[in-house]
Structure 1
Amino acid sequence: MNPHDTINLDELDKPYFVWFEDNWRHDDILHSHEKGQLVYVESGFQYITVDGKIYLLPQNHAAWIPPGAIHKTNSHSEKIRLMIMFAETDEHSSFHHEINVFSVPAVLKEMIRYSERWSKSMINDPDEILFLKALFNELPRFVEHSLQLHIRLPMDKRLSQPIGYLHSHYQEDIKIEDLSDVSHLSLRTLERIFKKETGMTLSKYQQILRIIKSLELLSAGDLTISETAYAVGYKSLQAFTRSFQSVMQSRPTDFIKTTQ
């Protein structure tokens, strides 16, 4: 079910709107809302494109999508439980006008779960307004250590082939020379436009790709942590754990424990 099929969110006369759904099938067409949007993945994983960047939402993570941001959902796991909340925001709040992806702390998780009592409610309930106002007011504190788990979509068409190659061969030890051969660009040109378009070096981009894929595999639950490490291209569990921790700010074992 998709709220956009039955509800015009921008015409809804409520400051907040809660929509929780099992096995969510969201709109995969670029769109925007006048309200900001909090997307929480309780189980499974979800990819979201916001303003030309692809973000991964693993289990127990959330994204704050600012009002007016052009976005869409991409692929997701087979079984997913999404909790989505829309909110009017203070136009003077700089936080509420920036995208954030973050691990959800226990207190926020319980607040989101409590909010389910108002799921799909069309009436203005004073208790709902009071509670959700407190939730969104505290959101900046919950997001202080937000993850930078995203990949920017390159606009320069010259990167189409090297980026495609990188996404297909991320498990391998790829050097900039390999991408230069694929793209038929000089090393200097490729390095310049790669950094400009993606905002990161090749090694950092490949690291993020590997961690994103590992989270996908860990969410599926078919592989052990060691098997996942080798599947995404790491030569040892120690190297994978170190890389995972630098990106996710937690160990793979912590991730498994907090999301099962």
Structure 2
Amino acid sequence: MNPHDAINLDELDKPYFVWFEEDWRHDDILHSHEKGQLVYVESGFQYITVEGKMYLLPQNHAAWIPPGALHKTNSHSEKIKLMIMFAEVDKDSSFHLQTNVFSVPPVLKEMIRYSERWSKNMDHNRDEMLFLKALFNELPQFVEHSLKLHIRLPADKRLSQPIAYLHNHYREEIKIEDLSEMSSLSLRTLERIFKKETGMTLSKYQQILRIIKSLELLTSGHLTISETAYAVGYKSVQAFTRSFQSVMQSRPTDFIKTTQ
């Protein structure tokens, strides 16, 4: 479902609105609204585009979309639970006027879950207003002390096939020469465009993809660290741990402890 099908958010006479849904089907058409939007992925995996940049949200990650920003959701995992919250925010707040993608710390996770009691509530409720006002007021502090992890997917159509291949084969050893041949671009041109569009090299991009996927697997609780390491393409647990630590600034075991 999509809240935009049922209500006009800009006409809703409430400063906050909560919308939680199992197996969410969000609008894949670019749109905007006057309220800011917090999108939390409790389970599953979601792509989201904000102002021309595409981000990946693994499980237990959230995106803050500022008021008036053009955005849409893209593909997602087969089963996904999204928690979406809309808020009127201070137009002078620098934080609330920029996109933020971040992993959700335990305290914020519990606050979001608590908010589910007001899902789809169209009426004014004093407790709801006070609680959500506190949540959104503290959001910059939660984000400041949280891990930030996202990648930009390129808008340049020439990279469509190489990027699709990367996302489907990130577990494998991929060489820039293979993508060059696939895209019919010279090695030098591909490297230049790739770095310009994504902000990183191919090897770094693949590393981030693997770590993002490992976070989804680790937080699902179904695989051990060693099973996760091999599942995302590392040949040893040691190599995975080093890579994970360089990106996340913590070990996989540390991350599990802080997210469960």
**When the two structures are superposed, what TM-score results if normalisation uses the length of structure 2?**
0.87
The corresponding residue for 2:119 is 119
The corresponding residue for 1:200 is 200
Q: In 2, are the aligned partners of 1:49 and 1:74 still within 8 Å (CA)? A: yes
Q: In 2, are the aligned partners of 1:151 and 1:198 still within 8 Å (CA)? A: yes
Helix, strand or coil: the match of 1:150? coil
Structure 1 pair 197/56, CA: closer, same or farther in 2 (3 Å)? closer
Residues 193-223 of structure 1: per-residue CA shift (max 9 Å, x gap) = 1111111111111111212233344455554
Aligned length: 260
Structure 1 pair 172/60, CA: closer, same or farther in 2 (3 Å)? closer
Q: Which amino acid aligns with 1:22?
A: E
Whole-Å separation in 2 of the counterparts to 1:40 and 1:164? 25
Q: Which amino acid aligns with 1:199?
A: G
Q: In 2, are the aligned partners of 1:170 and 1:233 still within 8 Å (CA)? A: yes
Residues 206-242 of structure 1: per-residue CA shift (max 9 Å, x gap) = 1112122333444555544323322322111111122
Q: CA deviation at 1:249?
A: 4.0
Which sits farther off after the overlay, 3-12 or 211-220?
211-220
The corresponding residue for 1:231 is 231
The corresponding residue for 1:27 is 27
Which sits farther off after the overlay, 63-72 or 76-85?
76-85
Residues 134-177 of structure 1: per-residue CA shift (max 9 Å, x gap) = 21111110001454432323232332333233333322222323
Whole-Å separation in 2 of the counterparts to 1:257 and 1:23? 27
Structure 1 pair 75/53, CA: closer, same or farther in 2 (3 Å)? same
The corresponding residue for 2:137 is 137
For structure 2, the 5+ residue unaligned runs are: none
Equivalent residue runs for 1:43-58 within 5 Å: 43-58=43-58
Structure 1 pair 207/112, CA: closer, same or farther in 2 (3 Å)? same
For the pair 1:213 / 2:207, whether they are aligned, the reply is no
Equivalent residue runs for 1:1-260 within 5 Å: 1-218=1-218, 223-257=223-257
- What percentage of residue pairs aligned between the two structures are identical? 87
Whole-Å separation in 2 of the counterparts to 1:194 and 1:183? 12
Q: Which amino acid aligns with 2:150?
A: H
Which sits farther off after the overlay, 128-137 or 89-98?
128-137
Helix, strand or coil: the match of 2:28? coil
Whole-Å separation in 1 of the counterparts to 2:42 and 2:161? 35
Helix, strand or coil: the match of 1:27? coil
Q: Which amino acid aligns with 2:180?
A: S
Structure 1 pair 137/207, CA: closer, same or farther in 2 (3 Å)? same
Which sits farther off after the overlay, 216-225 or 226-235?
216-225
Q: Which amino acid aligns with 2:58?
A: P
**When the two structures are superposed, what TM-score results if normalisation uses the length of structure 1?**
0.87
For structure 1, the 5+ residue unaligned runs are: none
Q: Which amino acid aligns with 1:122?
A: M
Structure 1 pair 141/222, CA: closer, same or farther in 2 (3 Å)? closer
Aligned-CA RMSD value: 2.4
Q: Which amino acid aligns with 2:213?
A: K
Q: In 2, are the aligned partners of 1:101 and 1:147 still within 8 Å (CA)? A: no
Structure 1 pair 43/187, CA: closer, same or farther in 2 (3 Å)? closer
Q: Which amino acid aligns with 1:191?
A: E
Q: In 2, are the aligned partners of 1:61 and 1:104 still within 8 Å (CA)? A: yes
Whole-Å separation in 1 of the counterparts to 2:119 and 2:138? 20
